[in-house]
Amino acid sequence: MKKLWKDPSSAFCLSFLLLITLLALLAPLLTPYRYDQIAADPLLGASWSHLFGTDEIGRDIFTRIVYAGQVSLLVGLCSTLIALLFGVVLGLVSGYYGGALDALISRFLDGLLAFPSIILALAVMAVLGPNIYNAMLAIGLVSVPIFARITRGSVLTMKSREFVEASRSMGAGDGRIMFGVILPNSLSPLLVQFSLTFASAVLIEAGLSFLGLGVQPPTPSWGSMLNAAKSYLTISPLYSIVAGAAVFLTVLCLNLLGDSLRDHLDPRMNKRR
Amino acid sequence: MVPMIARKLLELVLVIFFVTLIVFFTFRLLPGDPALLKLGQDPTPEAVAAIRAEMGLDRPLLSQYLHWIGDLVRGDFGASSLDGKPVLSLLAEKVPKTLELAVLGTLLSLFIAIPAGVLAAVYRYSWVDRLMRSVSLFGFSVPAYWLAILLMLIFAYKVHLLPAGGYASLAENPWLHLKGLVLPVLTVGIINAAQVFRFLRSGMLDIVNQDYIRTARAKGVSEALVIGKHVARNTLPGLVTVVTLNFSLLLSGMVITEQIFAWPGLGWLMIQSILSRDYEVVQGAVLLSAVFIVVMNLVGDLINAMLDPRIKYN
């Protein structure tokens, strides 16, 4: 962690992510308006009382951006956790037991992976109905295969290593070996992937909301704000720009963070530098 | 080669089997009874029972699934609940429009990513490499909808050079068709280029560090020949994989791009159908795109097997 702060680009990313999290958490203290409060005339430009102007019905855009941050980060985090949980369990089981079970799970994951992510998420949302919990579920489901593959890969390389054999000879059961021995030793690639999947989860959530099938109004979301802003592109370009920039910067920082985590955690990369 | 193709085909069938299972059960989860949806408010219990029998909903799940698969194999994807048109013909009408964007977007992305990837690998860890990587991170992280809107803002509203969206048929109005293509293809191409570039660069760097490249250099082969022949030739299979794998990402981005630019392709149809609760069409579109991706991956594997004899025997 200390190393990350020394690298200027990852330090910038960490600071930005920290800032946006704080903004989202402290939203009620930071702005005098409520996110659904009509505070002024519609589509005003930037001013001191409305930092990013007002939206199509006169709500403060800055307020909505920080409140939408709560939604985007929460959906991103929860869906990534869902994917991590199911992916790790499936990967451990399929890598550890091998054989027919492995083949079955792997083909199922291949099947899941065959769906373009937004299309699968859209289908699930269409069936379950658009709300914030279903969004977490749909986006989480899409990212299960990648975590499962990574976990399965590390199980396969570790299964026959001495320290696993050693704990088996000391009488550890299958569950103990999987979760107590192998999993703690496969954390670094999972951590890298967590950051990257978090990024894509934020991206997909905003995409779903942009299409009107994610978080429903009046709850603000970066995606749905951008969709509204699109209609006023000529009158208020700032509206589109800030709503998109919020998604873009968050995703960019999460991706960069994933990259530098990989550089620091992967011994192969260190040698090359 | 033949046993390898046979094995791949078997895998393909298995994966498609799981794809159909996932689609079937996802759409079975629909809240509410499809029969009730069809009948509207306050139907008589007899009418409900009749339509359930007609739709096959009173049979066990397995029988429903087999029935559905049988219909699919015979090319019966069901009918739109809006106008009763067969889903397959609705899809067939949209697919070429999506493919046009996908193919042109892929070509554009290769046009950008190949030279950039080669430059970054040749001048690895220099400022050129760093610059290219920063630019690619932009493309990697920018949301398709935002890029599309920014492009629209610049080229349609500020410079008035291109239409902000819409589709004109190639036969009736070729010039307008081409002009309408530019922004969607740019959106799709730029995002895809970032992906291809990242894979290409890391793929080439892996190869540059291999022993046989060092041997080639030691023999006095010029750097241009090392990169142009030895490295490029060995990067090719990876490139094919990336391009075919990326079709999945491409289709994802396309759903949004088509929606923004009102380009009436598969993604556009899917959104319209979701909004009008026309689930048979949604189901068909989801299934079709997944099967398409699976087939694309197989095609990629086969091309690679032809390019790299080592793959055949693994």
DSSP states of B162-191: S-SS----TTT-HHHHHHHHHHHHHHHHHH
Q: B150: which chain A residues are within 8 Å (Cβ-Cβ)?
A: 240-241, 244
Amino acid letter for position A74: L
Distance from CA of A61 to the nearest CA of B (A): 17
Average model confidence (pLDDT) across chain A:
82
Q: B294: which chain A residues are within 8 Å (Cβ-Cβ)?
A: 110, 114
Residue A260 to residue A257: CA distance in whole angstroms:
5
What are the tokens at B288? 């079709």
How many interface pairs between A and B have CB atoms less than 8 angstroms apart? 149
- Higher local confidence (pLDDT), A236 or B186: B186
Pick B274's closest partner by Cβ from A213, A241, A245: A213
For residue range B101-124, list pLDDT tens digits in order.
999 999 999 999 888 888 888 888
Q: Name which of A117, A210, A126 is nearest B274 in CA terms.
A: A126
Please indicate whether, in this complex, the C-beta atoms of A206 and B11 are within 8 angstroms of each other.
no
Task: Tell whether the model's pLDDT for residue A148 goes beyond 90.
Answer: yes
Q: Considering Cα of B272, then B275, then B276, then B281, what sign does the dihedral take?
A: positive
Q: A244: which chain B residues are within 8 Å (Cβ-Cβ)?
A: 143, 145-146, 149-150
Please indicate whether, in this complex, the C-beta atoms of B153 and A108 are within 8 angstroms of each other.
no
Q: Please, are residues A122 and A213 in contact by the beta-carbon 8 Å criterion?
A: yes
Mean pLDDT of all residues in B10-20: 88
Q: Is B42 left (phi over 0), alpha (psi -120 to 50) or beta?
A: left
Mean pLDDT of all residues in B88-96: 88
Task: Tell whether the model's pLDDT for residue B14 goes beyond 80.
Answer: yes
The whole-number pLDDT of residue B34 equals 60
The whole-number pLDDT of residue B93 equals 87
Q: A123: which chain B residues are within 8 Å (Cβ-Cβ)?
A: 23, 26-27, 282-283, 286
Residue B126 to residue B134: CA distance in whole angstroms:
12
ipTM for the complex shown: 0.83
Residue A187 to residue A190: CA distance in whole angstroms:
5
Task: Tell whether the model's pLDDT for residue A93 goes beyond 70.
Answer: yes
CB proximity under 8 Å: A 147-186 to B: none
The whole-number pLDDT of residue A273 equals 38
The whole-number pLDDT of residue A46 equals 65
The whole-number pLDDT of residue A271 equals 43
Residue B295 to residue B15: CA distance in whole angstroms:
10
Q: CB within 8 A of B218, min separation 6: which ones?
A: none
How far, CA to CA in Å, does B120 sit from each of A55, A258, B123, B264? 43, 21, 5, 37
Q: Is B260 near chain A, with CB under 8 Å?
A: yes
Give the confidence band of A270 by pLDDT, cuts at 50, 70, 90.
very low
Distance from CA of A34 to the nearest CA of B (A): 26
Partners of A38 in the β-ladder: A59
How far, CA to CA in Å, does B70 sit from each of B46, B61, B73, B86, B91? 28, 14, 5, 16, 19
Amino acid letter for position A123: A
Q: Is A123 near chain B, with CB under 8 Å?
A: yes
Q: Please, are residues A230 and B149 in contact by the beta-carbon 8 Å criterion?
A: yes
Give the confidence band of A44 by pLDDT, cuts at 50, 70, 90.
low
Q: CB within 8 A of B173, min separation 6: which ones?
A: none
Give the confidence band of A47 by pLDDT, cuts at 50, 70, 90.
low
Distance from CA of B20 to the nearest CA of A (A): 9
Residues in chain B: 314
Report the alpha-carbon angle A100-A101-A106, nearest 5.
100
Residue A220 to residue A215: CA distance in whole angstroms:
8
The whole-number pLDDT of residue B117 equals 86
The whole-number pLDDT of residue A144 equals 93
Q: A207: which chain B residues are within 8 Å (Cβ-Cβ)?
A: 143-145, 255-256
The whole-number pLDDT of residue B108 equals 93
Task: Tell whether the model's pLDDT for residue B10 goes beyond 80.
Answer: yes
Q: How many helices (H) and strands (E) does chain A have?
A: 14, 0
Mean pLDDT of all residues in B46-71: 77
Q: B291: which chain A residues are within 8 Å (Cβ-Cβ)?
A: 114
Torsion of CA B5, B7, B13, B19, to 10 degrees: -110
Distance from CA of A101 to the nearest CA of B (A): 14
The whole-number pLDDT of residue B38 equals 62
Give the confidence band of B42 by pLDDT, cuts at 50, 70, 90.
low
Pick B142's closest partner by Cβ from A116, A248, A259: A248
- Higher local confidence (pLDDT), A247 or A218: A247
Task: Tell whether the model's pLDDT for residue A109 goes beyond 80.
Answer: yes
Q: Which long-range contacts (CB under 8 A, 24 or more apart) does A191-194 make?
A: A191/A261, A191/A265, A192/A258, A192/A261, A192/A262, A192/A265, A192/A266, A193/A146, A193/A147, A193/A150, A193/A258, A194/A80, A194/A84, A194/A258
Give the confidence band of A82 by pLDDT, cuts at 50, 70, 90.
very high
Distance from CA of B193 to the nearest CA of A (A): 16
Residue A59, helix vs strand vs coil: strand
**Owner of token pair 């990587």:** B133
Please indicate whether, in this complex, the C-beta atoms of A114 and B274 are within 8 angstroms of each other.
no
Residue B35 to residue B97: CA distance in whole angstroms:
34
What are the tokens at B307? 């390019």
Residue B278, helix vs strand vs coil: coil
What are the tokens at A62? 């800055």
Residue B90 to residue B270: CA distance in whole angstroms:
11
Q: Is B144 near chain A, with CB under 8 Å?
A: yes
What are the tokens at A150? 């990574």
Distance from CA of B171 to the nearest CA of A (A): 30
Give the confidence band of A272 by pLDDT, cuts at 50, 70, 90.
very low
CB proximity under 8 Å: A 86-115 to B: 107-108, 110-115
Average model confidence (pLDDT) across chain B:
82
* Low-confidence winner among B35-44, B125-134, B194-203, B222-231 (lowest mean pLDDT): B35-44
Taking each helix axis as running N to C, give the angle between helix B232-260 and helix A117-128, from 0 to 180 degrees, rounded to the nearest 10: 30
Residue B44, helix vs strand vs coil: coil
For residue range B141-180, list pLDDT tens digits in order.
888 888 888 888 888 877 777 777 777 777 777 888 888 8
Taking each helix axis as running N to C, give the angle between helix A132-158 and helix A99-113, from 0 to 180 degrees, rounded to the nearest 10: 140
Partners of A60 in the β-ladder: A54
Sorted by where each starts, the structural domains of chain B and their CATH numbers stand as 2-73 (no CATH), 88-307 (1.10.3720.10)
CA A11 to chain centre: 19
User: Which residue from A minimizes the CA distance to B246?
Assistant: A116
Q: B102: which chain A residues are within 8 Å (Cβ-Cβ)?
A: none
What percentage of chain B reaches a pLDDT higher than 90?
5
Task: Tell whether the model's pLDDT for residue B215 goes beyond 50.
Answer: yes
- Higher local confidence (pLDDT), A41 or B101: B101
Pick A127's closest partner by Cβ from B26, B144, B250: B26
Best interface-test mutation with A: which of B7, B12, B18 has the largest number of A CBs within 10 A?
B18
> What number does CATH give the domain A68-231?
1.10.3720.10
Residue B280 to residue A96: CA distance in whole angstroms:
40
Task: Tell whether the model's pLDDT for residue B314 goes beyond 70.
Answer: no
Task: Tell whether the model's pLDDT for residue B11 goes beyond 70.
Answer: yes
Distance from CA of A225 to the nearest CA of B (A): 11
DSSP secondary structure code for residue B80 in this structure: -
Q: Name which of B133, B122, B272 is nearest A256 in CA terms.
A: B133
Global pTM?
Answer: 0.85
- The phi, psi pair for B220, rounded to 5°, reads 95, 15
Q: B142: which chain A residues are within 8 Å (Cβ-Cβ)?
A: 248, 251
Other CB atoms within 10 A of residue A173 CB: 10
Please indicate whether, in this complex, the C-beta atoms of A123 and B26 are within 8 angstroms of each other.
yes
Give the confidence band of A198 by pLDDT, cuts at 50, 70, 90.
very high
Given 3-state DSSP classes, what are the helix, strand and coil percentages for chain A, each rounded to the nearest 5?
Answer: 75, 0, 25
Mean pLDDT of all residues in A238-251: 86
The whole-number pLDDT of residue A125 equals 85
DSSP secondary structure code for residue B274 in this structure: H
Q: Is B171 near chain A, with CB under 8 Å?
A: no
Q: Is A246 near chain B, with CB under 8 Å?
A: no
Distance from CA of B47 to the nearest CA of A (A): 25
DSSP secondary structure code for residue B83 in this structure: T
Q: Is B294 near chain A, with CB under 8 Å?
A: yes
Pick B15's closest partner by Cβ from A114, A212, A233: A114
Q: Please, are residues B311 and B305 in contact by the beta-carbon 8 Å criterion?
A: yes
Residue A60, helix vs strand vs coil: strand
Distance from CA of A243 to the nearest CA of B (A): 9
* Low-confidence winner among A147-151, A185-189, B237-241, B308-312 (lowest mean pLDDT): B308-312
What are the tokens at A163? 């320290």
